[in-house]
Amino acid sequence: MDIGHRMKELRIQYGLTQQELADRSELSKGFISQLERNLTSPSISTLLDIIQCLGTTPSEFFTDEEPEQLIFRQEDYFEKENKPLGSTTKWLIPNAQKNAMEPILMTLRPGSSSDTHLPHEAEEFGYVLKGSIKLHYGSRSSIVKTGESFYFKSGKKHYIENYGNRESTILWITTPPSF
């Protein structure tokens, strides 16, 4: 691993100058410059201080792994039909339940609804791609039309329904995953 390159990469990513990193880590700008050009090597304790000042952990710093997959196509989606409710859910990212957020594409037939979600620790965002829905959140109900979105903290019972006479499609994202 090229420690100097990785340091520079993270420093730039966080918008720090060499002087700012030097000030944070109580080192000289010249020493940071030498480290980034691999002209010198830091002690372990100095490197750990720099890593901390860069807002990361040693395991993240030394991980060269890029995400295995960046692009997901229809053949990657997992689809589940809930016939009693009249809805279809497509998980757009395989195994999203292990990630920080979970995007799904939900299709609701006329008169159908999503599952009812009880209060939980999460934030939810939805964007209506097609049709219109009624969002039920606690004791409130709101109409959300094509091109409109919704956002809420999941502290109350909630669900969506297609009250219209044509199919509705919603991009729905929750963090952390809860679908």
In a domain, 167, yes or no: yes
Q: Is the pLDDT of residue 15 over 90?
A: no
Residue 67 lies in a domain: no
Mean pLDDT along residues 134-157: 97
Quote the crossing angle between the two packed helices 29-36 and 3-13, to the nearest 10°. 120
DSSP 8-state assignment for residue 147: T
One domain for residues 97 and 48: no
Residues 26 and 79 occupy one common structural domain: no
**Mean pLDDT of the 130-156 span:** 97
The residue count of the chain comes to 179
**Mean pLDDT across 77-90:** 91
CB 170 within 8 A of CB 127: yes
The single-letter code of the amino acid at 89 is T
Decide if 69 is inside a domain: no
Residue 172, pLDDT > 70, answer yes
CA distances from 5 to 2, 10, 35, 48, 164 (A): 5, 9, 9, 16, 56
Q: Return the structure tokens found at 77.
A: 């989606």
Same domain, 78 and 100: yes
pLDDT digit string, tens, across residues 18-74:
999 999 999 999 999 999 999 999 999 999 999 999 988 898 888 876 657 788 898
The total number of structural domains in the chain stands at 2
Q: Is the pLDDT of residue 101 over 70?
A: yes
Give the span between the Cα atoms of 67 and 69, in whole angstroms: 5
110 CB-side CA count, 13 A = 3
Checking if the pLDDT of 138 tops 80, the result is: yes
| Three-class SS state of 12 | helix
Question: What proportion of the chain, given as a percentage, has pLDDT over 70?
Answer: 97
pLDDT tens per residue across span 110-122: 999 999 999 999 9
Residues 57 and 126 in one domain: no
The beta-strand segments (E) located in the chain are 78-82, 87-91, 102-108, 123-130, 132-137, 140-145, 149-153, 158-161, 168-175
Does residue 169 share a domain with residue 110? Answer: yes
What is the predicted pLDDT for the residue at 66? 63
Domain assignment present for residue 141? The answer is yes
* More confident of the two residues 96 and 23: 23
Domain containing residue 107: 74-175
The model's pTM is 0.64
Q: Examine the domain organization and report whether 146 and 78 are in the same domain.
A: yes
Mean model confidence pLDDT for the chain: 91
